[in-house]
A and B are shown apart, each in its own frame.
Chain A
Amino acid sequence: AQSVTQLGSHVSVSEGALVLLRCNYSSSVPPYLFWYVQYPNQGLQLLLKYTTGATLVKGINGFEAEFKKSETSFHLTKPSAHMSDAAEYFCAVTAAWAQSWSGGGSNYKLTFGKGTLLTVNP
């Protein structure tokens, strides 16, 4: 079984300040990790993902995240917040092994955290 914990349901930063959104995961198998962003009344947009290889991954809109296996963490950061970054952010995990075969689709399902609402103050 897998789970995701996002620390802080609401994070507020000033425009230009560092953004840090925390995500810890639990997985009995090697994980694939994702960060998604959701704007009001819209679907989810993939920001970045970790699968294999480099543990520091860069995504869209200046975001990046670092996979730390020893800490079971995948925190999302952005050096300088912009007003347009205000949104809900979801961390998600899936089992890496499930991606290597074309078996039952339910093995690909994502487990989401509860989300973190980012507010950016002018």
Chain B
Amino acid sequence: GAVVSQHPSWVICKSGTSVKIECRSLDFQATTMFWYRQFPKQSLMLMATSNEGSKATYEQGVEKDKFLINHASLTLSTLTVTSAHPEDSSFYICSARSGGAGEQYFGPGTRLTVT
């Protein structure tokens, strides 16, 4: 149980275009989902927290107009990187909280490369 999927697993896009990453909780309802960014050989940096049906809460320094998050249902959250630039290239990981004792279940990550 508690499986989280992400799609796509990797994506290459051209500078200036937008790309959408999906995060799904496959076997549980996730009232809260999280989006992280991870640079090579570094820890996870929380970008934003999203609750189903409400606006996402962004961490300080994260541009909400560039990283659009939509938590449309209890099993789906999306991250859209708008007008992507090479510096947005990174590994993006989502997680979902299933309630209870607070652990988060992580997706497999999406490798974004902007050329």
Contact = CB atoms under 8 A, between A and B. Distances in A.
Interface of A: 32, 34, 36, 41-46, 49, 51, 90, 94, 96, 98-99, 102, 104-106, 108-110, 112-115, 117
21 contacts: A32-B101, A41-B91, A41-B109, A41-B111, A42-B109, A43-B93, A43-B95, A43-B108, A44-B93, A45-B106, A51-B101, A90-B43, A102-B31, A105-B31, A105-B50, A108-B32, A108-B97, A108-B104, A110-B46, A112-B43, A114-B42
Nearest first, the 10 closest Cβ-Cβ pairs linking A and B are A105-B32, A43-B106, A44-B106, A99-B102, A51-B101, A105-B51, A43-B108, A106-B49, A105-B49, A106-B57
Place the interface of chain B in its size category.
20 to 34
A7 to B, nearest CB: 14
Contacts of B107: 43
Contact of B97 (A96, A105, A112): A105
B101 A49 contact: yes
B43 A43 contact: no
Of residues B91, B100, B102, which shows the largest number of chain A Cβ atoms within 10 Å of its Cβ? Answer: B102
Interface in B56-115: 57, 91, 93, 95, 97, 100-109, 111
B26 interface: no
B74 to A, nearest CB: 13
B102 A108 contact: yes
A82 B97 CA distance: 30
Interface in B9-66: 31-32, 34, 41-44, 46, 49-51, 57
